Structure 1
């Protein structure tokens, strides 16, 4: 994580570097924008933290999602309703958090979970 190392101002320990790289790959695979993640990594270093996943989940910084002409996001997911995913902004881009009730309940949100929303009713 070059952004983390640059903000830290010193070399990053190997274990921390490996952890942050694994977390960055995971978050990028979920569709989070690289520039947004780099900004969160810089914040980590400034605060003395080293958990990118936790910081990304708790971040209140808006994520710009590109939309096509039909209004679908570039990730192909329906737009997040904002009512599901118990208090986690990760539900915006990760459908596993688009559940009702407790996290892991398995009850998929009928308003925005991709398994429950068809392209015709988006």
Structure 2
């Protein structure tokens, strides 16, 4: 939201804020890089657009895959497939499981107790 507000040059109205936050959460859960999405949000604001789904779908900007390793939280990067796809798994390793949310086998791709870096 900060990137959109910066591109807009003023605070974001509540209705637009709620819509963009919902869309951003879903796009992050689909595995799109946060920095790439922030760049798209700045572009949208400068053009007066408010539909992140459409802008992302139409964007020609290349997506570079995140480097292997840990993210800013110190956790291994979330694979995006475990935890039933909930974005909470990005920051909470408790959700990085293969069963129902928070239960089952630890994800072999991104759970910090399983992944060796």
**TM-score, normalization: structure 2?**
0.57
Count of aligned positions: 72
Q: Which residue of 1 aligns with 2:23?
A: 23
Q: Which residue of 2 aligns with 1:106?
A: none
State the shift of 1:66 in Å.
Answer: 3.7
Q: Which residue of 1 aligns with 2:55?
A: 55
Which consecutive segments of 4 or more residues in structure 1 shift more than 2 A?
74-77
CA distance in 1, matches of 2:26, 2:5: 19
1:61–1:11 distance in 2 versus 1, CA, 3 Å: same
CA distance in 2, matches of 1:67, 1:33: 11
Map Cα deviations across residues 96-120 of structure 1 (whole Å, 9 max, x no partner): xxxxxxxxxxxxxxxxxxxxxxxxx
CA distance in 1, matches of 2:45, 2:35: 16
The answer as to whether partners of 2:44 and 2:55 remain within 8 angstroms in 1 is yes
- Uncovered stretches (5+) of structure 2, i.e. residues with no partner: 69-77, 82-117
Q: Which residue of 2 aligns with 1:116?
A: none
CA distance in 1, matches of 2:65, 2:2: 24
Map Cα deviations across residues 49-108 of structure 1 (whole Å, 9 max, x no partner): 00011100110100001476xxxxx8489xxxxxxxxxxxxxxxxxxxxxxxxxxxxxxx
Question: CA RMSD for the aligned pairs?
Answer: 1.9
Map Cα deviations across residues 4-26 of structure 1 (whole Å, 9 max, x no partner): 01111111110000000000000
CA distance in 2, matches of 1:16, 1:56: 17
